[in-house]
Amino acid sequence: MERREIIDPRKMDYYYEEAMKTLRTNVLYSGKDVKTILITSYFPNEGKSDIAMQLAKELGSMGKRVLLFDADIRKSAMVRRYSIEGETKGLSQYLSGQAEVKDILYASNYKNMDIVFAGPTVPNPSELLEEQALTILLKELRKYYHYIIIDCPPLGSVIDAAIVAKQCDGAILIIESERVSYKEAQRAQDQLRKADCKVLGAVLNKVDTKKDKYYHKYSYYYADKKKG
């Protein structure tokens, strides 16, 4: 398995680290059959990709074998965001028959964490994600990893996440504070449930802890306001 160095630009702080540890603990106690977890949001730029990465790192640090799986074959920014160097093959190439499983699995510089990149952008992402190849791939990968953390596009924009949700044991919905309405959050949950995917919970992200003393006191339950 080839290795790729991940350079995380985020500057961790105490509250963010505590929030991620809380999320990690909740995942660990979500049930022994919950292995494939989808991370999504309603709108773009709510911080879902950053939280997917940090959650995978946290689970790996606990000795769990983790695969961070980028399923955003429509518009992934992971290679650019984390300054990945060297050629990478990804999910879109596997689903279109241009690569084998062994070609898209990469080791990382984080403990116990491997990664599948999204690969080149394709014109027909929804159709590719509906292929039986994705079902077969995830079924095979479950044998080797304790957790597969799947980063998907926002539910409010495209149908991709709802398609992938059918292959997942559970989903975590990322909600940006003061941006997503109650109805939009409910709409996202309904889409996941229609895909027979259990909603494990939600993460309230980008909370302005200085604005609300209550949130400041309990801010370790939430991610910080930085863009993820």
Q: Tens place of pLDDT for every residue, the chain, 228 residues?
A: 899 999 887 777 778 888 889 999 999 998 889 999 999 988 877 788 999 999 999 999 999 999 999 999 988 878 888 888 888 999 999 999 999 999 999 999 999 999 999 999 888 899 999 989 999 999 999 999 999 999 999 888 789 999 999 999 999 998 887 777 888 888 888 889 999 999 998 888 766 656 554 444 333 333 333 333
Separation between Cα atoms, residue 3 and residue 109, nearest integer Å: 8
Show the tokens assigned to 201. Answer: 């919970």
Task: State pTM to two decimals.
Answer: 0.88
Residue pair 100/94 in contact by the 8 Å Cβ criterion: yes
pLDDT at 144: 95
Dihedrals phi, psi of 225, to nearest 5 degrees: -85, -5
- Give me the helix-helix angle, 14-28 and 48-61, nearest 10°: 70
Distances (CA, A) of 183 to 41, 109, 165, 179, 186: 13, 40, 20, 12, 5
Number of neighbouring beta carbons within 10 Å of residue 26? 13
Q: How many other β-carbons are positioned within 10 Å of the β-carbon of residue 160? A: 23
Residue type, 111: K
